[in-house]
Structure 1
Amino acid sequence: MTTLQRPKDFFSDAEIEQLRQHSPWRSAYALLHCWGVIVATWVVVGIWTNPLTVLLGIFIIGARQLGLGVLSHDGAHFALSRNRKLNDWLSEWVLSRPFTSGTIYGYRKYHLQHHAFTQQPEDPDLHLSKPFPISKTSFRRKVWRDLSGQTGWKQYGAMFSDAFKGETTGQALKNGWRRFGPNIVINLFILAGFILAGKWYLYFLLWWVPALTWNRFVTRLRNIGEHAAVPDDNDRLRNTRTIEANWLERAFIAPYGVNYHLEHHLVVNAPWYNLKRAHQMLIEKGFLEQMEVQPNYKAMLAVAIEFLNEPGVLMRIAVVRADGSPLVTPIWFLHEAGSIYFTPREKSAWFACLRRDPRVSLCIDEQPLPYRKVIVEGAAELVFDVGADDQWRDLYQRTAQKYVGEQGAQAYVQNTIDQPRGLFKVVLDNAKVTSWRMPLETEDGMGIWHDRYYVPGTHFE
């Protein structure tokens, strides 16, 4: 485990004090800016109401709803105001209650546990990052659920359902009102404003539709960007991530410095407007090579979305013949539970090679950009020998389904059921695994290629 565990391992006392400095004017500006953008969008769309302005308004307001949460998050760290009572009042009543959040006290208690145990088993947010990396197919399904409102409907529905619980109807209403009463009252005032303007329907189109759709999507991107598929769960510079967002990403995805998450974890009560300075200081101190930094959200997703589980991707397996020469064969494979599974037929040449010498090299690569590849060097373990097919028929079915679909897999398994096979696996933790991908358009080529590939003094052109 790394010894760099405290802010003082990265910053001097004077620098930490500088990064923790509050600016009442900048905090006030952020609150006014966030609500100003929301209200201005309501006004503009109210005057020029058409499908295009409504759609743009959904994007803008969904991102600012995230902005309300980001600024409220600052309040959870007492980074909105030096006056703690004012800090908490602003966090709850100006930022949280107009949307769906509750008291700042409950969130603060929960969230500080995340900082105390980042990426450890005790981290209450670990469930957000643990499933990653995921496949493109899985990510597309999640995006569709977000943008179609399914995610929001499920999450907000569960939130309200949990709040309105009690042994009696009266108790349930009392509990629900205690949790959401202030939110409901504030939203009734917002709705009244739309009614007075003669645009009552825009309250739903430009407040709840963004909440159910774009806000859920950008919140997912935020969660993925912060901790998903990080290189080292125990390294403070690599168990969270900073994304150098461009202006468009800051406008629609990452408001108010939320992309500087690595720096936030190092100085948790630094206001959002000081995090960029913290990032620059770390670079000046020579920490950049150790930090998990991505140039934009597209590059971040390339890290968080793997292709090992994508349908149709073949694996090339290299085995050793009896005369010492290599034999390479493209095959189907299945990636599950940290292992690569494959199923040679009894009479195949590479099965005979594996029986004699279990050493293998595996190459899995994709055809389209960014041309990612994974290379595995290790030993194959015979899980089930020929004749035990019935014990792993379900795994065979899943492997076939990956390549020919559910219906095709059923037919394929049925038609090949009388062909004896063995089942092998390579445990990735026991093998040497390396990965690579082509640099994206916005990335420096040297950032992807290892230095050993370059003649000294040369660089990527």
Structure 2
Amino acid sequence: MNTRVSVTELFSREEIKELTTASDLHGAWAIGSTWVVIAATFTSVAYYWEYAPIWAKVLMIAVALAILAGRQLCLAILMHDASHRSLFKAKLLNDVATDWLCARPIWNDLHKYRAHHMRHHAKTSLAEDPDLSLVAGFPVTKKSLLRKFTRDLTGLTGIKFLFGRLLMDLDILEWTVSNDQKRIPKNGKTLQDYATALFKNSSGAVISNAVIFGALWRVGHPKLYLLWPLAYTVPFPLFIRIRSMAEHAGMQTSHSALNNTRTTHAGPIARSFVAPIHVNYHQEHHLMAAVPYFKLPRMHDLLRERGFVIQPPTYFEVIHSLSKSENKTQNNDA
């Protein structure tokens, strides 16, 4: 295995200080602009719905779901950045504002995610990595990958995830964002205990989604709220899968982020749906997790100039490299 690289071998102390300085203004912009796009999407559907023919309505819904799912992923990435305390300088904004504005609306929990995610960074690509199941088995056959994408786009993956999250909130399964499912021992728990756990764990998501529904109801379009859970169930799992594949699938088992993590080139379409706020600079993130999102491109440029990283592949190239013909790899239909 390759040894872990020290950041002091890559950057000067002055560069490290500059790169790891967070900004409350940039954090507020990232969250605010995400919700502006979400609001604009709902507004556009509401405005054009009455005048659009049937075919245009179908197209409008498809586009709206893709945009909303892309922004849901953006909320997840903002939660991820806050888990590293790199989104805001202020702890209150990182731990409270981000939890309610980013994590809760997508049925997540910043504090539970932080505990889970820190283990991923400590054990990336190793057997103890809690996220290993998300990228295990790659490369797969093209048919296998197509089946995975089909499950994502037909809602099967999303429904499975929602059911799993419900069991986690009931304290039946251990909390995770990976595919591993571990039962929690009953230890004499009663129905009341499970109901209490559900109320405690789900109340934040219920409240935040009630606010979204209430805002749409207030402006006279409560039915539009259905687009929010539908986007979460259908396009969102596909975007999550592609993002996970690009970050770690097919990489070496190594202690070094230069070998166990991948940075991917993201054009405008990729940034809209699978790589919001520079999450595609994942190798840089694993090298120095305290670097806020808006400084990752500069960090990448410095590493390129010094010969530590190469020109990153596109998302299309990554997907192609991780899907082989039948005679080159065994089928993995996990």
When normalised by structure 1's length, the TM-score is: 0.64
- 2:83 maps to 76
More strand by share: 1
Shift of 1:61: 0.6
Further displaced range: 213-222 or 166-175: 166-175
- 1:285 maps to 306
Task: Work out the CA distance in 1 between the residues paired with 2:221 and 2:92.
Answer: 36
Shift of 1:91: 2.1
Task: Work out the CA distance in 1 between the residues paired with 2:127 and 2:105.
Answer: 33
Pairing 1:167-186 to 2, within 5 Å after superposition = 167-186=189-208
Q: What letter is aligned with 1:235?
A: S
Partner SS state of residue 288, structure 1: coil
- Does structure 1 residue 193 correspond to structure 2 residue 228? no
1:213 is aligned, of 221, 225, 234, to: 234
- Does structure 1 residue 148 correspond to structure 2 residue 148? no
- 2:165 maps to 159
Determine which structure has more spread, i.e. the larger CA radius of gyration: 1
More helix by share: 2
Task: Work out the CA distance in 1 between the residues paired with 2:309 and 2:164.
Answer: 41
Number of equivalenced pairs: 309
- Structure 1, unmatched stretches of 5+, are 316-333, 338-461
- Does structure 1 residue 85 correspond to structure 2 residue 92? yes
- Structure 2, unmatched stretches of 5+, are 50-56, 173-185
- 1:64 maps to 71
Shift of 1:150: 0.6
Shift of 1:110: 1.2
The 3 A distance-change label for structure 1 pair 336 and 88 is closer
Q: Using the aligned pairs only, state the percent identity.
A: 33
Task: Work out the CA distance in 2 between the residues paired with 1:188 and 1:87.
Answer: 23
The structure whose RCO (Cα within 8 Å, separation 6+) is larger is: 2
2:261 is aligned, of 228, 240, 248, to: 240
Shift of 1:335: 4.7
Q: What letter is aligned with 2:285?
A: H
Contact (CA 8 Å) 1:76, 1:91: kept in 2 or not? no
After superposition, give the CA deviation of every residue in 1:141-194 in whole Å (9 maximum; x if it has no partner): 110110111101001111112322573332222100100112112212211222
- Does structure 1 residue 119 correspond to structure 2 residue 119? no
1:301 is aligned, of 314, 319, 327, to: 319
Contact (CA 8 Å) 1:62, 1:211: kept in 2 or not? yes
The 3 A distance-change label for structure 1 pair 162 and 286 is closer
Task: Work out the CA distance in 2 between the residues paired with 1:98 and 1:236.
Answer: 31
Contact (CA 8 Å) 1:65, 1:215: kept in 2 or not? yes
Partner SS state of residue 100, structure 2: helix
- Does structure 1 residue 135 correspond to structure 2 residue 141? yes
Task: Work out the CA distance in 1 between the residues paired with 2:287 and 2:111.
Answer: 22
Task: Work out the CA distance in 2 between the residues paired with 1:208 and 1:86.
Answer: 26
After superposition, give the CA deviation of every residue in 1:226-269 in whole Å (9 maximum; x if it has no partner): 00001453432121000011111111221111100000001101
Task: Work out the CA distance in 2 between the residues paired with 1:299 and 1:266.
Answer: 23
- 2:180 maps to none
Task: Work out the CA distance in 2 between the residues paired with 1:131 and 1:194.
Answer: 43
After superposition, give the CA deviation of every residue in 1:416-450 in whole Å (9 maximum; x if it has no partner): xxxxxxxxxxxxxxxxxxxxxxxxxxxxxxxxxxx
Q: What letter is aligned with 1:154?
A: K
- Does structure 1 residue 14 correspond to structure 2 residue 20? no
Pairing 1:306-345 to 2, within 5 Å after superposition = 306-307=324-325, 310=326, 313=327, 335=330
- 1:109 maps to 115
Q: What letter is aligned with 1:51?
A: V
Task: Work out the CA distance in 2 between the residues paired with 1:278 and 1:112.
Answer: 21
Partner SS state of residue 194, structure 2: helix
